Amino acid sequence: MNKTQQFNQLLNLADNALIIGHRCSEWCGHGPVLEQDIAISNIALDYIGQARNFYQAAATLINEDPEMLTGFVLPATEDSLAYLRDQREFRNHLITELPNGDWAVTTLRIFLFSAYQYFLYTQLKDSGDLSVNAIAEKALKEVTYHVKWSADWVIRLGDGTEESNRRIRHAVDHLWAYTGELFLQESELQQQWLQKVQLVFEEAGLVIPEKTWMHQGGTSGNHTEHLGFILAEMQFLQRAYPGSQW
């Protein structure tokens, strides 16, 4: 993997964590019960921590060789990469930027995405990049909890009342078409991920949808309209008052 490919991978990992972390943070104060409000807020903090670490690694690459990786504010920092890039420069998967919807959509999204992260970080912690190894190893411990927490909710909703089952089935129909993009560059992980999803879905009384058309484009900068609204809110202070500090 050359330096440009390594940088793009770091941006993908960081952007994914930042955007889904932002989405989870929107539940703060709105969770169904206090315990789950705290749980999803802590998950949001885990994601933001992952994003910071991957952005710092990406910034180090830029600063080491600014001529190879042009077009960025120098010296690059985690803040400049998060706050001073436009929508087309973000490389997150589309599933991370979709609106939260109800509790079923939110918890299913976390399950589908964190299960993907679990197998990805398991692979990355043994990669040849020592900085990525360390980040992935720490993040894997967090993601293991995310998978368990969200899987418990998918099962609870699927095996609960008629209304909860209806909502989680609607969430599956809504989100499944965004899962294919996760494996465009990590196809070897898809079978492991499907096996994990199948186990949880069977316990929840859910069925994996038949083959369907899959949305894609996030990793190449083609996003839904939702990302623009996220960035407008998230980046406002830094863009309105450049270089501001607490």
| Assigned domain for 245 exists | no
| Assigned domain for 27 exists | yes
| Assigned domain for 49 exists | yes
Model confidence, pTM: 0.94
Alpha-carbon span 198 to 97, nearest angstrom: 24
At 246 the pLDDT is: 67
Alpha-carbon span 173 to 219, nearest angstrom: 23
Q: What Å distances lie between residue 5 and 29, 101, 147, CA to CA?
A: 39, 34, 28
Structurally, how many domains does the chain consist of? 1
CB 84 within 8 A of CB 173: no
The CATH number linked to 41 is 1.20.1260.10
Task: Provide the residue type at 111 as one letter.
Answer: F
| Assigned domain for 246 exists | no
| Assigned domain for 181 exists | yes
| Assigned domain for 98 exists | yes
Q: Which domain holds residue 191?
A: 3-240
Q: What Å distances lie between residue 169 and 104, 113, 147, 177, CA to CA?
A: 9, 17, 19, 13
Spell out the per-residue pLDDT of the chain, length 246, in tens: 778 888 999 999 999 999 999 999 999 998 888 889 999 999 999 999 999 999 999 999 989 887 766 677 788 899 999 999 999 999 999 999 999 999 999 999 999 999 999 999 999 998 877 779 999 999 999 999 999 999 999 999 999 999 999 999 999 999 999 999 999 988 899 999 999 999 999 999 999 998 788 999 999 999 999 999 999 999 998 888 887 776
At 172 the pLDDT is: 98
- For the chain, what is the largest distance between any 2 Cα atoms, rounded to a whole number of angstroms? 59
